Amino acid sequence: MPVPPDPVLKAAVRWLEHLPTSEVTRTRALFISYNAFGDLTPTQYSAAYDWLQKVGIIDTSGRVISPSPQRSELFEAAISGTLWLADADVLVSSTTELPEDAMRAANTLGLSPRQALALVRHSWGKVDTAERHRIGSAGEHALMKLLSDATSATVRHMAAESDGYGYDISVETPSRSIHLEVKTTIRRGRLRIYLSRNEFETSTQDPTWVLTVLRLSHDLQPLAVATVDRDWLLAAVPADQTLGGRWESARLDVPPEATSSGMHPMVTSLLTSPVPILVGEPPWPG
């Protein structure tokens, strides 16, 4: 959904200024009847009202849902449907890189470029958190099915039981157990993962802990599997700077040379069916 046109955003501001103290019919009549509001058309006021309902700022009766909606809330709603927002962490690193539609909305709403940049980052954070959860869950379930179909070992979804294990999937035989931490992406050109402190500390204490990455298509179908090199991981995580502080979550950009296509040999040795994706066919994209 594109950013609403400037007149619609301007009309939205006026709706939010008047609706808390006046009913919808009276406010609409005010906009149409008074010359002070005549710079916008009735159609633009109607479009703004419909948009405010669509993005959840007012309810179906015209009641403002937020107790005191700010222009920042309008800005975040305006950019929420843009195609670039999902990649804003890469595309927008400074005010000079703000997309044209974001700058236009900021100007209309009286926000500075610095405020707009902060709101873009805040909006991206909310979108990214929800998207990572959706994709991560899909990846874990997809790998569970691939492994269950390819081995007679017991495959357990540990993350469904608790997030305290430090890994997501356990592959168990009577004589051994392999612990897989699963990271999932739908991006082809870049592999960015988030590692918790618990996951990292588990990796240092558990020799059977393996960091596995799964690439899914946009419709969440498995495309490729790779294993991240443990030595690279240990060197890449941040170091605690003082005894009084420590990192709890790290964002890591994994280079192609730190991955190898397919599951770890500990896992492939247990496969009873030659599933190509699990042994690195097709190879992980470089």
Tell me the residue type at 97: E
- For residue 57, the model assigns a pLDDT of 93
- For residue 286, the model assigns a pLDDT of 72
- For residue 244, the model assigns a pLDDT of 78
The tens place of each residue's pLDDT in the chain, 286 residues long, gives: 799 999 999 999 999 999 988 999 999 999 999 999 999 999 999 999 999 999 999 998 888 887 666 899 999 999 999 999 988 988 999 999 999 999 999 999 999 999 999 999 999 988 888 888 999 999 999 999 999 999 999 999 999 999 899 999 999 999 999 999 999 999 887 899 999 999 999 999 999 999 999 999 999 999 999 999 999 999 999 988 777 788 999 999 999 999 999 999 999 999 998 899 999 999 998 7
Give CA–CA dist 271/274, Å, rounded: 7
- For residue 128, the model assigns a pLDDT of 84
Give CA–CA dist 16/39, Å, rounded: 17
Q: Is 263 helix (H, G, I), strand (E, B) or coil?
A: coil
Beta strands in the chain (DSSP E): 154-157, 169-172, 177-185, 191-196, 209-216, 222-228, 249-254, 259-261
Assess if CATH 2.70.98.30 describes domain 133-279: no
